């Protein structure tokens, strides 16, 4: 029996991509990957966002980098959403001190984040971060004078946006 090189290649691809060989995602990776707030998640289109939040207003737009930012839900909490090529790549939820008090305080939010994502990979001052490279996400949490903010971001898209902005940067030299 003669086996062709194409047959071997197909078999190798099936073997590599097989769920039996794929390492399962952790609960933290799944939580970071599947995060959504009020029905909005990473990858939601601008059209769907505007349909869900018709009163959201445009904070900034940059056609050359294909990015825009919208703010929704004036009050507490509210959401700052970043788009690239018409899809959400970062969601930031901002909780005022009053809203934090309603949910039991900063310690309750701290515990929820650590219970969900584990110990942060970085903590500096009042900012904490978690990286999940297998699902292309990172999570940031910052304690602010006015309350707290946490962000979920598609790390691959953020790299693209940063590269585009860096290429456009002109400082006179």
Q: Is the peptide bond before 166 cis (omega within 30 degrees of 0)?
A: no
DSSP secondary structure letter of residue 25: P
Higher-scoring residue by pLDDT: 146, 21: 146
Specify the 3-state DSSP secondary structure of 156.
helix
Q: What's residue 76's pLDDT?
A: 58
CB 49 within 8 A of CB 81: yes
Q: What is the pLDDT of residues 113-150, one digit of tens each?
A: 999 999 998 888 889 999 999 999 999 999 988 889 99
CB 154 within 8 A of CB 136: yes
Q: Is the peptide bond before 77 cis (omega within 30 degrees of 0)?
A: yes
CB 66 within 8 A of CB 82: no
CB 59 within 8 A of CB 83: no
pLDDT above 50 (res 10): no
Q: Which pLDDT band holds residue 169 (cuts at 50, 70, 90)? A: confident
Q: What mean pLDDT is predicted for residues 61-80?
A: 81
pTM > 0.85: yes or no: no
């Amino acid at each position: 029996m003669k086996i062709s090189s194409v047959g071997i290649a197909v078999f190798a691809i099936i073997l590599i991509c097989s769920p039996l060989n794929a390492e399962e995602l952790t609960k933290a990776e799944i939580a970071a990957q599947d995060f959504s707030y009020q029905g909005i998640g990473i990858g939601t289109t601008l059209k769907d966002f505007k349909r869900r939040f018709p009163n959201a207003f445009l904070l900034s737009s940059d056609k050359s980098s294909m990015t825009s930012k919208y703010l929704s839900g004036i009050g507490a909490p509210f959401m700052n959403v970043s788009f690239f090529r018409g899809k959400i790549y970062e969601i930031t939820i901002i909780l005022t001190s009053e809203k934090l008090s309603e949910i039991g305080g900063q310690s309750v939010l701290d515990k929820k984040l650590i219970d969900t994502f584990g110990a942060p990979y970085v903590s500096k001052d009042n900012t904490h971060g978690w990286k999940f490279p297998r699902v292309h996400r990172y999570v940031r949490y910052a304690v602010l004078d006015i309350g707290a903010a946490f962000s979920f971001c598609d790390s691959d898209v953020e790299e693209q946006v940063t590269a585009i902005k860096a290429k456009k940067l002109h400082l006179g030299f």
